[in-house]
């Protein structure tokens, strides 16, 4: 698989796990609400939220984009000594639910809020366990007040 050459093996399995956990979240909520559209909703909120790494990458690369670099997060995290990941925040979880509820009602998908928030929860949990930063590292407000410093994210002042 050519893609595997581009993407580091650990990152590949990390993201694969996000994908599987999102799929399982979607399937679980589908069992209750019986709407197949909950699967893409879960994948969007449990897998694609990692697109926010693009923000960290572009901040470091000053706008240029090389996929091989983008798929090597340690390069730009260590390079810039910053961790932004603006879509990652434990405090966003209730807002994901509220947003999901509003959108779900608007477009007529019941269970949207549960698929979105459960998948988001699995994403944040897997990152919290595997990346293992400071306990507060995955709170956006904590990163903001510490100026997104990698040291604060890791818990070393």
Question: Where does this chain bind Zn ion (CB under 5 A)?
Answer: 50, 127
Pick the closer one to Zn ion by CB: 68 or 130.
Answer: 130
Tell which phi-psi region holds residue 82, choosing left (phi > 0), alpha (psi between -120 and 50) or beta. beta
Q: How far is the CB of 110 from Zn ion (least distance, A)?
A: 27
How many angstroms separate the first and last alpha carbons of the chain? 41
Q: How far is the CB of 37 from Zn ion (least distance, A)?
A: 23
Q: How far is the CB of 14 from Zn ion (least distance, A)?
A: 8
Query: In the structure encoding, which two tokens stand for residue 62, read together?
Result: 């000053």
* Whole-number Å distance between alpha carbons of 138 and 154: 10
Pick the closer one to Zn ion by CB: 109 or 136.
Answer: 136
Q: How far is the CB of 27 from Zn ion (least distance, A)?
A: 21
* Whole-number Å distance between alpha carbons of 156 and 146: 11
Pick the closer one to Zn ion by CB: 30 or 56.
Answer: 56
Q: In a 3-state reduction of DSSP, which class is residue 81?
A: coil
Pick the closer one to Zn ion by CB: 56 or 127.
Answer: 127
């Amino acid at each position: 698989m050519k893609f595997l050459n581009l993407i580091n093996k650990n990152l590949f399995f990390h993201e694969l796990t996000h994908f599987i956990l999102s799929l399982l979240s979607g399937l679980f909520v589908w069992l209750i609400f019986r709407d197949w559209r909950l699967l893409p909703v879960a994948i969007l909120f449990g897998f694609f939220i990692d697109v926010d790494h693009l923000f960290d990458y572009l901040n470091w690369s000053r706008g240029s984009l090389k996929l091989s670099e983008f798929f090597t997060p340690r390069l730009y995290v260590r390079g810039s000594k910053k961790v932004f990941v603006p879509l990652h925040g434990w405090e966003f979880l209730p807002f994901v639910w509220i947003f999901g509820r509003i959108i779900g009602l608007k477009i007529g998908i019941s269970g949207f809020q549960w698929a979105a928030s459960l998948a988001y929860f699995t994403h944040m949990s897997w990152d919290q366990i595997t990346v293992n930063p400071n306990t507060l590292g995955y709170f956006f407000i904590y990163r903001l007040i510490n100026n997104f410093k990698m040291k604060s994210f890791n818990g070393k002042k």
